[in-house]
């Protein structure tokens, strides 16, 4: 398939490479142009503008936040202006439910099709096509997009025919991960202050009840207090919790644990945590207990 790919950050680069490996004809675009070089070396066409990346059947975007997506889509020469009739925009960015709804409407008005397809996974999983995709959109568009989604990830969950639902599921997943971090942080603070060896404790947990990579990975970061360099920076985690709360507001679903996480991220950022991994909220319980200075 002829595909454009816009947004070559840590995640996007891996996803674009997966599309190439799967044999698709790929045109890439990134604002910082040097990030295109490795993909061009692998066979992608470089493009000089967003518009140029919209000449195929599909354009896929993987950008940092709502405002980056708004700019790429709605600016003059953006995707709305450039994608052909019936063309598909697959948006993998983690954005607000509200923006996803607006994108769906705008693409429909422009005679284009829209699929929201956010992903779960770290950059190394993206490079290995081992991420998990949550997709939502009109069945025909989903069907057309499926070979691409299969190429970038390990499995695809079709959440709904309404694109924004995929974004909601993505936000709920990040909420679950942040909850896991908070709960581990409190448990480790508790037993750690009692003198239990934190590493042995974690090893016990993750070899028994919680024998799953997410507990191992986040537990490891908390036990080691190793929050730099950030694989997923605290401001991004904070953004996602805020977007989850915004979605919960729209649906009128009170989420007290999400509110607690909001407070944790704000505390972390108030203490200079902008460069830290989001798992650093897992150290705030130990800080409140007087064991750790953050």
Which residues 12-41 are close enough to bind a copy of itself by CB under 8 A? none
Residues 6+ away with beta carbon under 8 Å from 37: none
Cα separation, 149 vs 126, whole angstroms:
12
Interface with a copy of itself (CB under 8 A), residue from 98, 106, 205, 231: 205
Smallest distance, a copy of itself to C-beta of residue 32, A: 28
Smallest distance, a copy of itself to C-beta of residue 84, A: 31
Quick check: 191 binds a copy of itself (CB under 8 A)?
A: yes
Sign of CA dihedral 103, 108, 113, 116: positive
Of 127-156, binders to a copy of itself (CB under 8 A) are 132, 134, 154-155
Smallest distance, a copy of itself to C-beta of residue 165, A: 6
Of 223-252, binders to a copy of itself (CB under 8 A) are 242, 244, 247-249, 251-252
**Whether the bond into 229 is cis, omega within 30 of 0:** yes
**Site track 61-100 with a copy of itself (rule: CB under 8 A), x = hit:** ----------------------------------------
Structure tokens at 174: 């990040």
Confirm whether 216 is a catalytic residue. Answer: no
Count residues near a copy of itself (CB under 8 A).
71
Token pair 């422009």: residue: 110
Smallest distance, a copy of itself to C-beta of residue 233, A: 16
Structure tokens at 9: 């950050």
Residue of 2, 154, 164, 170 marked catalytic:
170
Nearest to 275 by CA among 237, 223, 224: 237
Q: Which is nearer to a copy of itself, 108 or 176 (CB)?
A: 176
Count of alpha carbons within 13 angstroms of residue 252, beta-carbon side? 0
| CB-based contact 19:3 (threshold 8 Å) | yes
Per the DSSP assignment, residues forming a β-bridge with 120 are 132
**Whether the bond into 186 is cis, omega within 30 of 0:** no
Q: Which is nearer to a copy of itself, 78 or 237 (CB)?
A: 237
Of 252-281, binders to a copy of itself (CB under 8 A) are 252-260, 262-264, 266-267, 269-272
Residues taking part in catalysis: 170
């Amino acid at each position: 398939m002829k595909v454009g790919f816009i947004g070559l950050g840590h995640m996007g680069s891996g996803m674009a490479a997966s599309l190439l490996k799967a044999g698709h004809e790929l045109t890439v675009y990134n604002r910082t142009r040097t990030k295109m070089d490795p993909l061009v070396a692998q066979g992608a066409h470089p493009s000089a503008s967003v518009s140029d990346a919209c000449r195929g059947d599909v354009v896929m975007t993987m950008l940092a936040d709502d405002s980056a997506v708004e700019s790429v889509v709605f600016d003059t020469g953006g995707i709305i202006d450039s994608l052909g009739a019936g063309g598909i925009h697959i948006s993998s960015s983690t954005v607000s439910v509200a923006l996803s709804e607006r994108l769906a409407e705008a693409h429909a008005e422009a005679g284009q099709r829209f699929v929201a397809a956010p992903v779960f996974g770290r950059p190394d999983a993206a490079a290995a096509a081992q991420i998990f995709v949550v997709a939502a959109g009109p069945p025909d568009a989903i069907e057309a997009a499926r070979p691409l989604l299969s190429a970038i990830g390990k499995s695809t969950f079709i959440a709904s025919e309404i694109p924004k639902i995929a974004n909601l599921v993505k936000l709920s997943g990040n909420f679950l991960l942040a909850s896991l971090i908070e709960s581990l942080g409190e448990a480790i603070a508790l037993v750690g202050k009692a003198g239990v060896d934190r590493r042995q404790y974690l090893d016990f947990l993750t070899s028994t009840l919680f024998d799953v990579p997410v507990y191992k990975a986040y537990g490891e970061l908390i036990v080691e207090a190793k929050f730099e360099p950030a694989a997923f920076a605290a401001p991004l985690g904070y953004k996602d919790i805020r977007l989850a709360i915004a979605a919960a507001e729209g649906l009128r679903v009170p989420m007290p644990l999400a509110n607690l996480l909001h407070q944790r991220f704000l505390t972390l950022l108030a203490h200079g945590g902008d460069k830290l991994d989001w798992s650093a909220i897992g150290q705030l319980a130990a800080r409140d207990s007087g064991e750790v200075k953050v």
